[in-house]
Structure 1
Amino acid sequence: MNPEASHHHPEPWYRSRGSVVIAMIAVIVLFFVIREHWEHLTGRWIYLLLLLCPLMHFFGHGGHGGHGKTGGSNAENS
């Protein structure tokens, strides 16, 4: 018998049925909010683009280990 087959790994929180439903509702609400306020957003799109820069920096470091890792050179972490 395969010992790995007997272990049950719980699903991640983002794959649960409730999270998917909440995400779908959030996308629908976001669509209607953007649709209703499109005239206000078109004049400020450059600020929204600039706001994405720190957000992408904050959330985008999962692939290479992030900052402050010890034990290795910068070439290994980038």
Structure 2
Amino acid sequence: MHDQPQTPWWRTRGGVALLGFGLVAAFYVLREHYEHALGALPYLLLLACPLMHLFMHHGHGGHQGHHRADGRAAQDAEGPGRVQGGAS
């Protein structure tokens, strides 16, 4: 197995240099085309929602453990519709 985890590409020297050049290029492109960039801003905000769902749901653990071995959904110990606490 691997003793050391792989370093992400953006933490390598080449990755940092590439990100730096990309930021400088983005600055100059946006400076020259400021009006066009502001016109696309509402569409970029709408595009951010599905992209966040696509790329950020990996933090939920891949939704593992939500189903039992027979494929049916697992329920809480209390069950649906039961109130916690009060005794009858």
Using structure 1 for the length normalisation, give the TM-score.
0.65
Query: What are the superposed Cα offsets for residues 47-67 of structure 1, whole Å, 9 maximum, x if unpaired?
Result: 11111111111111121124x
Question: Is there any run of 5+ residues in structure 1 with no aligned partner, and where?
Answer: 1-6
Higher RCO, 1 vs 2 (CA within 8 Å, ≥6 residues apart)? 1
**Aligned partner of 1:16: which letter?**
T
Percentage of matched positions with identical amino acids: 48
Shift of 1:71: 2.6
Using structure 2 for the length normalisation, give the TM-score.
0.59
Aligned to 1:13: 9
Give the CA RMSD over aligned residues.
2.4
Q: Rg: which structure is higher?
A: 2
Aligned to 1:3: none
1:41 aligns with 2:37: yes
Question: Is there any run of 5+ residues in structure 2 with no aligned partner, and where?
Answer: 68-72, 74-88
